[in-house]
Amino acid sequence: MTILKIIPPANPVLRQKAKKVKALTPKIQTLIDNMFETMYDSYGVGLAAPQVAQPLRMFVAYLAEDPLVEDGIEAEPAPGIGQELVMINPEIIHNSDVMALGNEGCLSIPGYQGTVERPDGITIKYLDRKGNKQRLTTHGWMARVLQHEYDHLDGVLFIDKALEIWELGAEDEDDLEDDA
């Protein structure tokens, strides 16, 4: 597998609307594998194809544990936690009315975080890496990660939605594990 270059906001691919994936070719399968490898190597929890200069409507995500369960806020992990997710041509078909604030970072904007308000729950439909139609209803941090990655497919970055943005100090970057 190959570690791909994550592009910064100055690259126009990151700001354009991505195109639908038309066929699940061996090239797409290799891209998925390389995106996971790149995401893990960068200590991220999600990575969209536009972030690696591929203007395609797909992303990968993996959130090993639910921070809301660890903090005692939720009793059980949200659906999708602990699963390697591949979402091809995703579409968010429902947003909850409940909104939640959370801090986000981005592998394309290292060294910065911001507070973003998003729906606390979503339902998203997509194709998995085998081309099977899937639907996931989730909430909390899992929903946040998926919405963050979904935004990349429309050329939207967390800094566009952030209520405030700040630069991380060296000690903060060592603890940062929730970049998407």
Q: How big is the CA angle at 80 (ends 74 and 83), to the nearest 5 degrees?
A: 125
Question: What value does the mean pLDDT of the chain take?
Answer: 93
pTM of the model: 0.92
Q: Are 116 and 130 in contact (CB under 8 A)?
A: no
DSSP the chain: --PPPPPPTTSGGGGSPPBPP----HHHHHHHHHHHHHHHHTTBSEEEGGGGT--BSEEEE---S-HHHHTTS-SSPPTTTTS-EEEEEEEEEEE-S-EEEEEEE-TTSTTEEEEEEEESEEEEEEE-TTS-EEEEEEEHHHHHHHHHHHHHTTT--HHHH-SEEEEPPHHHHHH---B-
Q: Which of 17-21, 58-62, 76-80, 109-113 has the lowest mean pLDDT?
A: 76-80
pLDDT of amino acid 75:
79
In this prediction, residue 177 has a pLDDT band, given cuts at 50, 70 and 90, of: very low
pLDDT at position 99 over 80: yes
pLDDT above 70: percentage of residues in the chain: 94
Q: Are 177 and 43 in contact (CB under 8 A)?
A: yes
Q: Which of 70, 84, 104, 149 is catalytic?
A: 149
pLDDT at position 66 over 50: yes
- Which has more pLDDT, 14 or 171? 14
Q: Which CATH superfamily is domain 12-175 in?
A: Peptide deformylase (3.90.45.10)
What is the tens place of the pLDDT at every residue in 125-152?
Answer: 999 999 999 999 999 999 999 999 999 9
The two tokens of residue 124 are: 């998203």
* 149 in active site: yes
Annotated domain spans of the chain: 12-175
pLDDT of amino acid 46:
98
